[in-house]
Amino acid sequence: MGRVICVANQKGGVGKTTTALNLACTLAKTRQRVLLVDLDPQCNATTGLGQSPSERHALVDSRPLRESFSETYLTGLSLLPGSRSFQDVDVLANSSDSHSTMLATHLSGSLGSFDTVLIDCPPSLGPLTRTALTSASEVLMPIQCEYFAMEGLTQMIEVIRQTIDRPESRLKFGGILLTMFDASVELTGEVAREVREFFGEIVFQNVIPRDVAVSEAPSHGRSVVDYAPRSRGARGYVELCQEVLERV
């Protein structure tokens, strides 16, 4: 099995889905076979690629998982769409331990043909995020460069450590990504320095700048690299992709 990268943070609005989508697209441009799994009931990763959410989520459907993969506008990038079904969201969000194990097995057993799988998690520490962490080989955590960036981070780190400590786990800390970086704002620099001083080499050297093109791209069903290839945001995700590839 290739790399399975879980993109997770319990806080919303930190660039989690944006990072999962754009990293998936940039990796696909390196001729990798990539799958983006949308586990967030908001389904923004799905709609951000110009796709429609499924009526039933593939992870609770009776069909083989492979039958639910959708091809996207980008060669080499497949999508496992999310679902807004209240019934499916309830099943996924209130899974028992045995059901979570079943979902993890169901998910990991269908990923062998992909070089990289990115899992976009909901903004919570619930069973669905824990299931994704169990299925993953790495976790990538985006952090917004604002005052509350560190809020709740200890809880997230603890959940990751608990997963890593499991005997059957292959999870490792893939990195912390600074997003919405604005060098003209003094607070941005303070948060970045604090995060780097505390976490050291775990933090990616590259940052994602605050850029309106990054926010506009999903409404066109494209990554920022395809929507505005000369933008600062596009350059940020291309450089992040290069760093992710180096961290094998």
pLDDT: which is higher, 100 or 185: 185
Residue type, 5: I
What is the pLDDT at residue 86?
65
Q: Which residue has the tokens 């992870």?
A: 59
* Average pLDDT rounded to a whole number, residues 44-65: 85
Residues 155 and 125: beta-carbon distance below 8 Å:
yes
What is the pLDDT at residue 53?
92
Domains along the sequence of the chain with CATH: 3-246 (3.40.50.300)
Task: Kindly tell me if the per-residue pLDDT of 109 is higher than 80.
Answer: no
Going by pLDDT thresholds of 50, 70 and 90, the confidence category of residue 52 is: very high
For the full predicted model, state whether its pTM sits above 0.85: yes
Going by pLDDT thresholds of 50, 70 and 90, the confidence category of residue 12 is: confident
Distance CA 210, CA 232 (A): 8
Please give the C-alpha separations between residue 10 and each of 29, 92, 130, 144, in angstroms, as whole numbers. Answer: 29, 16, 11, 12
Please give the C-alpha separations between residue 149 and each of 7, 108, 152, 161, in angstroms, as whole numbers. Answer: 16, 31, 8, 19
What is the pLDDT at residue 168?
82
Q: What is the pLDDT of residues 90-107, one digit of tens each?
A: 666 665 555 556 556 666
* Average pLDDT rounded to a whole number, residues 14-29: 97
Distance CA 176, CA 155 (A): 15
Q: What is the pLDDT of residues 203-227, one digit of tens each?
A: 999 999 999 999 999 999 999 999 9
Distance CA 192, CA 196 (A): 6
What is the pLDDT at residue 57?
80
Residues 44 and 20: beta-carbon distance below 8 Å:
no
